[in-house]
A = this chain, B = another copy of it.
Amino acid sequence: MISFTNDYSECAHPLILKNLAEHCYEQNEGYSEDRHCKNASDLIRSYLGNIDVEIHFLNGGTQANLTILSAMLRPFDAVIGTERAHINTHETGAIEGCGHKVLAMPGEDGKLTPEDIEEAVAQNTTVHMVHPAAVYISDTTEIGSVYTKAELTRIREVCNEHGLLLFLDGARLGSALTSAANDLTLRDLAWLTDVFTIGGTKNGALAGEAVVISNSLLQRDFRYYMKHKGAMNAKGFVLGMQFETLFRDRLYFQLAEHANQMAELIKDACVAAGFPFLTRPVSNQIFPVVDNDTIARLQKDFTFEIWEPADDSHQIIRFVTSWATREEQVQELVKAIRKK
């Protein structure tokens, strides 16, 4: 059985484990005040030009999202996202658990539009309604699409017009930045957002999300928010060592690129088989619409997610590739798809 279910099935890239093993007995400062976290931050900063950021390393996506939004929002403030937004659908109410409403807007192709933001603001204008104060977007999105620089710039402008903070969830940022459809850089993200994350969990790390904060007001006291939410690790250096490895010699981008290439091979097979897609496949998640018979056949040798029904005889399914996906695994799948 080969899994294309997600990109967090495999442990971690060997170079990461090697870095950990090499410093096995090294004594480090606790709580991320060590040289590895500093080094990892500096390596990430080297991509950001002269933008003054604070960088923190957290354990996972939901933890990062709830900590960041807690720091962004006052009790009655709300965050705007799409209906598919991870914080709206797949975090077991973690954001509401911190006291905040998620204003879910339709979005388009998985992406939040400037019009969505305008509408959410226009709908919530009095003291009897929540106060929209932040915008949440993901890149890649929950359905694998990516934002262009023009799109992100326009969102930033709308945020500025309405006094909204902008948070980009980069749980799959590697795949986004190495997508053929992408024209954004890390520096653009630091410039255009108030906070963005660089996901490690889904791109070769044991676990870990780097939180990059360019808004100086959010930089202040962010560590208090982390500790208060249980998001500060005694052995912060374990995350630091991993991001050190990922951003030394561009490993982070190489791993993501590999995942995207593997997905493209699957995409090509799907196109050849005549499968339509939920959305244009440009990243390491692709969503072909497949007939039930083929699905049943594929499920004998492969695992993947049934995303949502398309019609009576078809379903949208999700194939995900990762840094660890081997080409021979993909070829098996491609072969199976071709049999159709």
A30 B8 Cβ-Cβ under 8 A: yes
Query: Which residues of the other chain, B, contact A331 by a CB distance below 8 angstroms?
Result: none
A202 interface residue, CB < 8 Å from B? yes
Query: Which residues of the other chain, B, contact A12 by a CB distance below 8 angstroms?
Result: 20, 24, 238
Binds B, one of A56-64, A155-163, A181-189, A253-261: A56-64
A92 in complex: contacting residue of B29, B76, B91, B97, CB < 8 Å: B76
Whole-angstrom CA separation of A230 from B65 in the bound complex: 9
Whole-angstrom CA separation of A34 from B6 in the bound complex: 14
**Known A30-B9, A206-B235, A230-B229; contact A100-B96, beta-carbon cutoff 8 A:** yes
Interface centre among A10, A92, A324 (most CB of B within 10 A): A92
CB distance from A222 to the nearest CB of B (A): 10
**Known A101-B96, A129-B89, A230-B230; contact A30-B6, beta-carbon cutoff 8 A:** yes
**Known A30-B8, A67-B230, A207-B235; contact A59-B59, beta-carbon cutoff 8 A:** yes
Interface centre among A20, A74, A97, A238 (most CB of B within 10 A): A97
Whole-angstrom CA separation of A34 from B213 in the bound complex: 34
Query: Which residues of the other chain, B, contact A324 by a CB distance below 8 angstroms?
Result: 24-25
Whole-angstrom CA separation of A226 from B229 in the bound complex: 12
Whole-angstrom CA separation of A238 from B76 in the bound complex: 25
Interface centre among A59, A98, A235 (most CB of B within 10 A): A235
B94 A11 Cβ-Cβ under 8 A: no
Query: Which residues of the other chain, B, contact A93 by a CB distance below 8 angstroms?
Result: 75-76, 78, 99-101, 130, 228
Which A146-160 residues have a C-beta within 8 angstroms of B? none
A70 interface residue, CB < 8 Å from B? yes
Copies in the complex: 4
Interface centre among A14, A90, A128, A207 (most CB of B within 10 A): A128
Interface centre among A23, A27, A233 (most CB of B within 10 A): A27
A17 in complex: contacting residue of B20, B91, B231, CB < 8 Å: B20
CB distance from A195 to the nearest CB of B (A): 16
B8 A127 Cβ-Cβ under 8 A: no
A binding-site residues for B, Cβ under 8 Å? 2-3, 5-6, 8-14, 17, 20-21, 23-31, 59-67, 70, 74-76, 78, 89-94, 96-102, 127-131, 201-202, 206-207, 221, 223-225, 227-235, 237-238, 241, 324, 326
Question: Can you give 30 contacting A-B residue pairs, CB < 8 Å?
Answer: A6-B30, A8-B30, A8-B234, A9-B30, A10-B28, A11-B25, A11-B26, A11-B235, A20-B206, A25-B326, A31-B127, A59-B207, A60-B230, A63-B230, A89-B129, A90-B128, A90-B129, A91-B227, A92-B128, A92-B129, A93-B101, A96-B130, A127-B223, A127-B227, A131-B221, A131-B224, A201-B233, A201-B235, A230-B230, A230-B231
